[in-house]
Amino acid sequence: MDTENTASKEECEKICQNNARCNAYAISEFEANCILYDNDRSNLPVKFNNYILYVLRLMEKDGYYVHKTDYYKLFTKRMTAHRAAEYCKNKEQGTLATVKSEKVNNLLLARIVEHNVWTAFIGVSDIEKEEDWRYADGSEVDYSNWSTSGGKWPSVRRDCAIITITGEWKHADCWHKDFFICQIPMF
């Protein structure tokens, strides 16, 4: 992205924080250089010796919750699943949330309950092949929490998945507008 002349980590961090496109920075106090990284994540990490990479952390107060190396954020604006996936990709550089463990499911459930949201799209669909449920990254669903009360049934019109306020998943019409949860890599 950009290179700034500065000798301290604190100055470099401040420059990055004041740049809306910066999500990480690398500093070489020896060379008095600060390299800012663009939030589109297309830049390779530091390629030089004597540089230390720092990633700006998104804050819980802004709705970003961490699990391992990803953030999860509930968006309380209604969109179709396709538009929500585009929003996650273009605005947050992420995907609809891929729920691959009970721990992540519980993290998302806590966000839904906190905001009193009944349902939200997650990154699970069978849009390519009926009943072949895949995560947003294309991998096969290996963890699920489908509702046992009739929420999962074969239907060509219900190719997307929602997480409900009980934490269970249900089939949903992809063209229905609903809230959604993005998964955003830290770096």
| pLDDT tens, N- to C-terminus, the chain (187 residues) | 677 777 688 898 888 888 877 878 888 878 888 888 875 555 555 556 678 777 777 788 889 999 998 999 999 999 999 999 999 999 998 999 999 999 999 999 999 999 999 999 999 999 999 889 999 999 999 999 999 875 455 565 789 999 999 999 999 999 999 999 999 998 7
Whole-angstrom distance, CA of residue 73 vs CA of residue 64 = 5
Query: What CATH number should be reported for the domain holding residue 164?
Result: 3.10.100.10
Give the residue numbers spanning the domain of 16.
2-56
Residues 181 and 124 in one domain: yes
Alpha helix (H) residue ranges in 20-169:
81-92, 102-114
Q: How many CB atoms lie within 10 A of CB 129?
A: 9
Q: What is the pLDDT of residue 1?
A: 61
Amino acid of residue 119: T
Whole-angstrom distance, CA of residue 131 vs CA of residue 152 = 10
Amino acid of residue 11: E
Sign of CA dihedral 8, 11, 13, 15: negative
Query: What CATH number should be reported for the domain holding residue 8?
Result: 3.50.4.10
Residues 77 and 168 in one domain: yes
Residue 112's SS3 state is helix
Residues 146 and 167 in one domain: yes
